[in-house]
Structure 1
Amino acid sequence: MKLKLTTVYSLQAFQLMRYATMILIGVFMAKSSLGMEAIGAYEQFMFLAGSVSFFWLTGLIRGLLPLYRETDSDDVRFFNAFLLISVLTLLSSLVIFFLAEMWFPQQAVGDGFSVRWMLAIYLFCTVPAGLTEYYFLLKKKSARIVVYGAVSYVLMLGLVLTPAVLGWGIGSCLKGLVVWAIFRYLVLWFILLRYVRLKFSAAYQREHIGVSVPLILSALVSGSAQYVDGFIVRSQYDESVFAIFRFGAREFPIVLLLANAFSNAMLPTFASTDSLETVLEKIKKESTRLSHYLFPLSGLLLVTSHMLFPLLFNQNFAESASVFNIYLLLITSRMLFPQTILIGLKRTSLIAWASIGELLVNVTLSVWFVQFAGIQGVAFATVLAYLFEKGLLAMLVESRLNIPVTKYQNISRHLIYSLFLLSLFYIVEFVIY
């Protein structure tokens, strides 16, 4: 294949490097002398930092991208986005500073006061630093996205894993994580001071906030499932079980990445000269082609996960494989694309309402299922909640837009693949293991 390095591919590569780094850190920590409690403390550190920032950071970055103009040679918009994100990060850091001690036992990480400072500093630096790769994206610097990602995540591996391998304890691993965050923050400031005009604009702030608020609300509702699951598990179990759940509660990234990329790539076709029928047929054809690859790949992972998890991590994380296998079933909803129709036809308010419904279903089922099915019940609740959301969106597309699901999905093929994966899941989880 002749693959031209575009900004899209570069940003995808950046995200894959990020995911691979998280996996490698988990693998090496599991094989190090760190105990389950210490690994659980690291997972809680990352979990808590993400839970207070993921929704508004996602919304503000998505709000920035369509507002940015190439004629803005002084990059006023970019600097003002940095200011807005920095203010919210400072507030989040203060909140996390006072809450952190509740989450970390002294025997896992040492002095609780130092952990509060490390978490606050990490959050203050790493959240705004997320703008760096998007600056390169806006400037169409594809190679720099890849180089920056490679340097950044190799450095993260070194700073976090060296203390773990040398037996210095989880406190030193967290300090390495903070040093990595400071490095990324300094890289962003280098870009700001060298290439960006540092000028405040009240007009831009109003524009950015106005565009981003709906996106923030959408990200909060639709992206909170993993944090809801985590909080429910943590409220019922100790750090060791929380670590087992977190190691398994990882959606197959290739499915998520390719499904989202496909959905976004189809959106411009709604504004083209093609008829709606032609666009719907393209979605149906290309989504079916994508399913031919992703469903078998998910099935292969499902069959091998119980062998891979003890091999990659250790025997303590064998139960994580079952949680991971449940999350693999999310492909049954990921490969349905009613949201693409609604976004393309500018009916996004319906998506917001469906996201609220999905969150309510997820919370209700998670609280219920955890009582009799444990951490696997929480994972099942997430799968059912996502299916509920896509089913509701498909019903709305048909009732409001008069577009039946058969117009844009190969339902028979999707059902065959889904039933095959569910049958394989039953055999693996209830017959073999």
Structure 2
Amino acid sequence: MSFRAAIKDNFHRRWKDSVFALQFFNVMRFAAFFIVSILLVRIPLSVDQIASYEYVLFLSSIVTGWWIHGFIQGFMADGGQTKSVDKGVLFRSYSRLFFVFGTGMFAVVSGGIEVLAFYGVLSKPPTGFYFYLLFHFLLQGLILLIYYAHQKGWKKFIYLFSIYFFLIYVGSFFVLLKEGVLLDVVYRYLLVFALPVVAVWFYFYKKSEQGSPRQPFLPHVPHLTILMLIQGIGFLSVWSDGFWVQYFYGTGEVFAFFRYGGRELPFFVILTTTFSTAMIHASSTGQGLDRIKKGSQRFIRLFLPLSLILMLSSHFLFSWVYSDAFIPASFVFDLYVLLILVRVLFPRPILMAHRLFRPLLWVSVGELVINVVVSVALYWSLGVLGLILGTLAAHSFELGASLYLVRTRLRITMQRYVPVRLYLTFAITVVLAFVIKYGLFSGDWVEMLISP
């Protein structure tokens, strides 16, 4: 078989894999956000207007992302607990949980944002923010629907909705090309285009009732609550950088640089997070551990050359893709590339598969404490650099603690699911590339981001 034929055959096999379909969905989400970020610069909007959109996206992501990740992990853990679990019954239970919890969360979050804005802890939400927030809540429902399709093996459905989301999100922002149209109009369009998702969700909810008894959702609440707490703490740790940047610097120029600097990071995180979540139901078996190790090897071999190329050329890329004004954001991007070092190892799905939720909760608490303390302490001497270094320290702790739990609580050696030598080569190479780049070259704009 020729090299070209082998590549084609591998692609076809991957295309028929539901895990690959999940990764495709999440990559399309990222691609939509990324293309919109370019579109806003090219229209062009002012930096302040772009920062306004980034603030809306930032707030909506942080208040919806954490608990839906807990939902999905609970859904996958319950779905893989035994082979006798009825996927339809489970989907209906989690759908009702989503409606009850989501409605209450939307009300609490909306009130909380207004209170925090009133006291000056958060900047006041821009016009149209709540239209976008509601759209984001409906998007999380789509994610639950997508993972249900993954459990059922409906790959074409996942691909179809991936393309639908991409088209409605990017397409809605093209109305800004019409003179006089503001961002709040775009947010209204997005909400309208999200309504078909609700209709499809309701259709599958009713269809799954056929021949299956209705079961209460309360038995899922205890462990689901712990998982949402874990994810909530984890998201606070991840998104705390954005909070501190808007708190110390406001939502102007530095906040826009910070948000654009972290733009490419989700591409790495999307692939690894999707793989991690999809592997929860299988990670308690030897075959599952083998798949995790092979997944780590595949990600490292993909990310090593890609991260080096992006890091070494980031300042040129930001100038070319956006404009010269956004070159300072490349420094933030390079720092966040280092975070991929903790993303390519997967002890967490193993712990979740064995339902060690409480130890994971304490690890998450420690991660958050380290993030807040180290970030704030380093901010006063290193500015934005210090905030990001605090996040790197916290995530390193989380990875180390999770590896330790797998070794001590489950008696599974690291070599069983981690390609140790390949990982060490990856880590040393990426860190050296960062040190060499900024040891030899650093523009005046770096000073702005390391000054409190």
* TM-score using structure 1 length: 0.84
Could you tell me which amino acid in structure 1 is paired with residue 341 of structure 2? T
Q: Note the C-alpha offset of 1:148.
A: 2.3
* 1:311 matches 2:320: yes
Partner of 1:108: none
Matched residue type, 1:360: V
Query: Is the aligned partner of 1:42 residue 2:53?
Result: yes
Aligned partner letter, 1:218: I
Quote the offset at 1:218 in angstroms. 0.8
Once the 2 structures are TM-superposed, how far is the Cα of residue 44 of structure 1 from its aligned partner? 0.9
Residue 74 of structure 2 corresponds to which residue in structure 1?
Answer: 63
Q: Does 1:128 align with 2:155?
A: no
Q: What residue number does 1:147 align with? A: 160
Look up the match of 2:36.
Answer: 25
Task: Give, in whole Å, the separation in 1 of the partners of 2:292 and 2:73.
Answer: 24
Structure 1 pair 389/251, CA: closer, same or farther in 2 (3 Å)? Answer: farther
Contact 2:50 2:256 in 1 (8 A): yes
> Is 343-352 or 260-269 further displaced after alignment?
260-269
Gaps of 5+ in 2: 1-9, 80-84, 443-452
Could you tell which deviates more after superposition, 303-312 or 137-146? 137-146
Q: 1:175 aligns with which of 181, 185, 203?
A: 185
Distance 1:372 1:167, change over 3 A: farther
Instruction: Write out aligned runs for 1:288-299 (5 A).
Output: 288-299=297-308
- Following superposition, the deviation at residue 22 of structure 1 comes to 0.9
C-alpha distance in 2 between matches for 1:399 and 1:367: 33
RMSD of the alignment, in Å? 3.2
**1:377 is paired with a residue of what secondary structure?**
helix
Note the C-alpha offset of 1:361: 1.1
Structure 1 position 84 matched with structure 2 position 96: no
Q: Which residue of 1 aligns with 2:172?
A: 159
Aligned partner of residue 53 in structure 1, secondary structure: helix
Partner of 1:367: 376
Q: How far apart are residue 333 of structure 1 and its match? A: 1.5
CA distance in 2, matches of 1:401, 1:197: 41
Equivalent residue, structure 2, for 1:241: 254
Is contact 2:280–2:352 with CA below 8 Å preserved after alignment?
yes
* Cα 1:104/1:355, change in 2 over 3 Å: closer
Point out the more displaced range, 286-295 or 385-394: 286-295
Q: CA deviation at 1:269?
A: 5.2
Aligned-pair CA distance for 1:56: 2.3
Tell me what 1:206 maps to.
218
Q: 1:390 aligns with which of 399, 403, 415?
A: 399
Cα deviation for residue 196 of structure 1 reads 3.4
Write the distance in 2 (CA, Å) between the matches of 1:59 and 1:266: 15
**C-alpha distance in 2, partners of 1:183/1:292?**
38
- Note if contact 1:89-1:128 (Cα within 8 Å) is conserved in structure 2: no
**2:112 aligned partner:** 95
Q: Is the aligned partner of 1:411 residue 2:420?
A: yes
Q: Label 1:196 to 1:344 Cα distance change in 2 as closer, same or farther (>3 A).
A: closer
Cα pair 1:338 1:397 within 8 Å, conserved = yes
Q: Quick one: percent identity of the two aligned structures?
A: 25
Distance 1:202 1:95 in 2: 35
Query: Over residues 111-159 of structure 1, what are the superposed CA-to-partner deviations in whole Å (9 max), with x where a residue is unaligned?
Result: x8xx45x222332343034223432542443223222232232222122
1:119 corresponding residue in structure 2: 129
Aligned CA distance change for structure 1 residues 293 and 348 (closer, same or farther; 3 Å): same
* 2:277–2:349 Cα contact (<8 Å) kept: yes
Aligned pair partner of 2:237 in 204, 213, 225: 225
Cα drift, residue 300 of structure 1 = 1.2
Q: 1:269 to 1:138 in 2, by over 3 A?
A: closer
Deviations, residues 291-331 of structure 1 (Å, cap 9, x unaligned): 22222221111111111011111122111111111111112
Q: State the Cα deviation string for residues 5-33 of structure 1 (Å, max 9, x = none).
A: 34332222111111011111111212333
* 1:59–1:265 Cα change, 3 Å: closer
SS of aligned partner of 1:130: helix
- Tell me the matched-pair count: 415
User: 1: CA distance between counterparts of 2:342 and 2:172?
Assistant: 37
Cα contact 1:10–1:142 (8 A) shared by 2: yes
Matched with 1:109 is none
Q: Write the letter of the residue equivalent to 1:321.
A: S
Match of 2:357 among 330, 348, 362: 348
